[in-house]
Structure 1
Amino acid sequence: MAEQDDVGSTAQPEWISRTSRTGQRGMLVLRYDSAQLPRDERGDAFHAFMREACDPCRVVGMGTPSAMRVKTTFWQLGTGIVHSAASTGYVLTRTPRHLGAGAPEVLALGLQLRGTAQFEQHGRQIELAEGEMMINDLTAPYDYTVGAGSATHAFMLDLQTLGVSVDAVRLALPYALSTPVYPLVRSFLTQLYVHGDQLSLDPGRELIASAGADLVRAMLLSAIGAHPEKSDALRETLTTRILAYVRAAPMRPGLSAESIAAAHDVSVRTLYKELELAGTSLEGYIIEQRLEGAARELADPASTATVGAVARAWGFTSQAHFSRRFKNAHGTTPTEWRRSHAIGVAAHRSSPRASFSRRLTSPGPDQPTGDDVWT
C-alpha cells in the first residue's frame, strides 16, 4: 500500500489541472486523472493531488503505487463544492493532529455510486453500498475506506452557508439519515451527478446550489427535532439560519422580513430582535449579499453583461447608486473591478502552468478517457 501522511501543502504540482471550464462562467474546476500519467508517477501524483484538493489527512492507496488508478474532479456550484471520484481504492484518515493544522467548518455529503465503502466518525461506523449516503463532519477525525472499483459523488457546504453550528450538526448526525427529508437529499445528490454537466452551465445554478443547501439544512433541522436537546439547538442557530437563508439567494422573489420570518416559523418581531442582538441590519445584509453577487458576476470572464445590466440583475435600479455602494464595499468601481479580474485571468491563461493544465485536461489520441479507465 502506498501511504502519505501530510498536514497540508500550498504548492500546486504540475500534474494537477486547475482550469475554468469553457462556458462555465468562471467555475473553478480541479481535476486529476492517473491514466494520463506514467505508472511510476501515479502514487506520488495522487498524494500530491490529495494534498492540494483535500484538508490535511493521511492518504493510503490500495495496492502498489503503479497500479493505482484514480479519476476525480472538484467543481464549484454556487457556494458549494461538488466532487466526483472513481478509483482502485484508498483510505483517508483524519486524526486530531491533522485537525490542529486547521479544520474548516464544512459538511460533506457523500453518495456511493458504485462499489462499497466504510466510514467511521464520532464512534459510529457506516457500511456503504451502492446508492447509500454518508455525512462527514470535517471538523472531526474520521476514517474513510473506499473499496476497489468504487465511484463516489459528494456535495460539500460550509456551515456558515447552512446556518447550522458545529454542535447542532453533531446533535443531528445520529438521526439525519433516518429523517423523512433524507430521501430528498439523496435524490438531489443523484441528480446532481447524472445532470452535472448541464447544471454547471445552467443560468439557474446559483439557485440550484441554494436549493441543495436548503434541503441539507432541512434534513439537519428535522434530525435535531428528534433530539431531546432540540429546543436549545434550534434557538441557538436561529440567527445563523436566517443569515444563511438570505445569503443563499439574496434575489429570491418576495424576499422580505415577513417571508424570512415565515420560513423560520418565527414572528417578524422575533426576527428583528434576534438580528438586533447579533448587531445586524436585515436591509443592510441583503444589500451586502447582492453586492457580493454582483461582484462575482463582474469578475466572471464569461459574463458579457454591461455594468448597468449587472446592477439591475442584482436589484439596483440606479447605476450611479450601485456604483457608490459597490465602491464603498470593495474600494473600487465596478468597471475597475471587472478590468482587474480580466487582467488576472489573462495572466493565468498565458502562464506555463495553465498551458500544462490545458494539455492535461485535453487527452490526445493515445490517452484513455472517461470510462476507458474503469472497464
Structure 2
Amino acid sequence: MPESVSTLSRETDWQWTSLGIPTSQAIEETEDLCARMIAHSQVSNESCQYELTWQHYGMGPLDLNIFRGTPHRVTCSPHTFLTERNAGFDIVLMQRGSARAVHGGKTCHLSPGSIILLDSSAKWDLLFPSEQYCISAHMELSWLRKWLPDPSMLAGHVVDSNSQWAAPLISLMNTIASIGLENAPMPRSLLAEQMASLLAIALARPNQNIICHGSELLTRIRSTVYKNFDKPDLSAQQVATDIGISRRHLDKVLASANTTFLTLLENQRFEAARRRLADHHNSLQIAEIAWSCGFSDPGYFARRFKRVFGTSPTSFRDQEQQRPGVN
C-alpha cells in the first residue's frame, strides 16, 4: 500500500505514489501533500484514471520534487497562499511531455528542457495534457532573495532548452533526479545554494539593470505596506509619497509584479489576521483583531475572510486552536 501522506515531511527523503488508490482519494492526498510541501493547490483530472509518483529530497531551504503522472491540471490561488507557513517559489523543469502555464495573466508553453519560475503568491495554472515527467525545486522566499532580490519580477518567465546559460541548472537538477543525494559530493545545503545561484544566471535578462531598479522599488513598497498595514486609511498615494515616487510609478511597478496596491495591502492584512486568530495566547475578540489589522468594518472583514479562507473567522479560530502547538 502507498505510504500515508500524514507521515511525510519536508525534512526527509521519501517517495509517494497514488497507485492502488481510488482517483478521488488520490487527488485529495495530492492536494494535501501540495499544501504542506509547496502551496495550497487544486488538482483536477478529466479522466477516471489519475496516477502520480512523487519523489522528494529535503535540501534545507530547498526541496527537490520529481513528478511522474498522467494528464491533470494544477491551479494555485493567491488567496489560498495566505494560509501557507512558508512563502515560496518553484522552478519547474519539464523533462518529458509538455505543459501549458498561465501565470500572472501570461500564457506560455513548456516543452522538454524548458524551465519556468512560479510564484505561489500569484495565481498560476499548469495543465499537463499528456503523461509528464517534471522536476521542481521549491525555495523559501526569504532565502531565495539572497540571489534574486525580488524573484516575483521574474515569475512566469520561461527559459527554453536552447539557453546555454540555463544548461548548468538543468544539468544539476537532472543529475539529482537521476542518481539521488545519498552519495552527494557536498552537503545538501551547499547544493541548494549552487542551484539558487544557477537559477539567477539562467533567469538573467539583457535589461537586468531595469529589473533590479524595479525590484528595489517593489521591495520598498512591500516594506512600507508591511510596516503600515494596520492603518485603516493607508493609501497607495501615501505609500508612493513615503518612498518618493509618483502614484502612477507605484502602480506601474506593482503591475510589473502582477499585483496591485489593494491586493498587496489586503493580503498583508489577512495574513496578520490569520496568524492572530491562530495564536493560542491571543484573547482579542474577532472585531478587535479586525481593527488591529487595519479593517475599519468588522462585518466586511468577516465576509471577506470567509471568501478568502472558505470559513468564518470564528470557525477558523476554533479549528486552529484545537490543534496543539499552532501559533
TM range (shorter): 0.5 to 0.7
Maintained 8 Å contact 1:175/1:226: no
Residue 153 (str. 1) matches residue 135 (str. 2): yes
Q: For the residues of structure 1 that align with 2:156 and 2:92, how far apart are their CA atoms?
A: 16
Q: Which residue of the partner structure matches residue 191 of structure 2?
A: 208
Read off the aligned partner of 2:178 and give its amino acid letter: V
Residue 78 (str. 1) matches residue 99 (str. 2): no
Q: Which residue of the partner structure matches residue 139 of structure 1?
A: 121
Give the unaligned 5+ runs of structure 1.
Answer: 1-12, 21-25, 238-375
Maintained 8 Å contact 2:88/2:120: yes
Read off the aligned partner of 1:129 and give its amino acid letter: S
Read off the aligned partner of 1:130 and give its amino acid letter: P
Q: For the residues of structure 2 that align with 1:203 and 1:167, how far apart are their CA atoms?
A: 26
What is the CA distance between 1:144 and its match in structure 2?
0.9
Identity of aligned residues (%): 15
Paired residues in the alignment total 217
Q: Which residue of the partner structure matches residue 191 of structure 1?
A: 175
Residues 49-70 of structure 1: CA distance to partner in whole angstroms, max 9, x if unpaired? 4444442122212411xx2111
- Counting only pairs closer than 5 Å after superposition, residues 110-259 of structure 1 correspond to structure 2 as 110-163=92-145, 168-173=150-155, 177=159, 181-198=165-182, 201-220=184-203, 222-223=204-205, 225-226=207-208, 228-231=210-213, 233=215
Do the aligned partners of residues 160 and 49 (structure 1) sit closer, same or farther apart at CA in structure 2, a change above 3 Å counting? Answer: closer
Q: For the residues of structure 2 that align with 1:27 and 1:229, how far apart are their CA atoms?
A: 34
What is the CA distance between 1:128 and its match in structure 2?
1.1
What is the CA distance between 1:100 and its match in structure 2?
3.8
Q: Which residue of the partner structure matches residue 31 of structure 1?
A: 15
Q: For the residues of structure 1 that align with 2:138 and 2:15, how far apart are their CA atoms?
A: 16
Do the aligned partners of residues 120 and 232 (structure 1) sit closer, same or farther apart at CA in structure 2, a change above 3 Å counting? Answer: closer
Shifted more, 133-142 versus 156-165: the winner is: 156-165
What is the CA distance between 1:71 and its match in structure 2?
0.7
Residue 60 (str. 1) matches residue 44 (str. 2): yes
What is the CA distance between 1:202 and its match in structure 2?
4.4
Maintained 8 Å contact 1:171/1:224: no
Residues 46-105 of structure 1: CA distance to partner in whole angstroms, max 9, x if unpaired? 4444444442122212411xx211111222123210001111122111224323434843
Q: For the residues of structure 2 that align with 1:109 and 1:156, how far apart are their CA atoms?
A: 7
Read off the aligned partner of 1:60 and give its amino acid letter: S
Maintained 8 Å contact 1:168/1:224: no
What is the CA distance between 1:117 and its match in structure 2?
0.9
Q: For the residues of structure 2 that align with 1:111 and 1:203, how far apart are their CA atoms?
A: 23
Do the aligned partners of residues 55 and 108 (structure 1) sit closer, same or farther apart at CA in structure 2, a change above 3 Å counting? Answer: same
Read off the aligned partner of 1:144 and give its amino acid letter: L
Q: Which residue of the partner structure matches residue 365 of structure 1?
A: none
Q: For the residues of structure 2 that align with 1:195 and 1:139, how far apart are their CA atoms?
A: 32
SS at match of 1:131: coil
Residue 89 (str. 1) matches residue 78 (str. 2): no
Maintained 8 Å contact 2:147/2:197: no
Q: For the residues of structure 2 that align with 1:27 and 1:102, how far apart are their CA atoms?
A: 17
Q: CA RMSD in A?
A: 3.6
Read off the aligned partner of 1:42 and give its amino acid letter: A
Maintained 8 Å contact 1:55/1:103: no
Read off the aligned partner of 2:75 and give its amino acid letter: T
TM, length-normalised to structure 2: 0.55
Structure whose CA Rg is larger: 1
Do the aligned partners of residues 231 and 145 (structure 1) sit closer, same or farther apart at CA in structure 2, a change above 3 Å counting? Answer: same
Do the aligned partners of residues 147 and 16 (structure 1) sit closer, same or farther apart at CA in structure 2, a change above 3 Å counting? Answer: same
What is the CA distance between 1:43 and its match in structure 2?
4.3
Give the unaligned 5+ runs of structure 2.
Answer: 220-327
Maintained 8 Å contact 1:86/1:152: yes
Read off the aligned partner of 1:207 and give its amino acid letter: L
Do the aligned partners of residues 16 and 214 (structure 1) sit closer, same or farther apart at CA in structure 2, a change above 3 Å counting? Answer: same
Maintained 8 Å contact 1:32/1:49: no
Read off the aligned partner of 2:68 and give its amino acid letter: A
Residues 118-147 of structure 1: CA distance to partner in whole angstroms, max 9, x if unpaired? 111022212111121111112211111123
What is the CA distance between 1:217 and its match in structure 2?
3.1
Do the aligned partners of residues 85 and 14 (structure 1) sit closer, same or farther apart at CA in structure 2, a change above 3 Å counting? Answer: closer
SS at match of 1:228: helix
What is the CA distance between 1:27 and its match in structure 2?
4.9
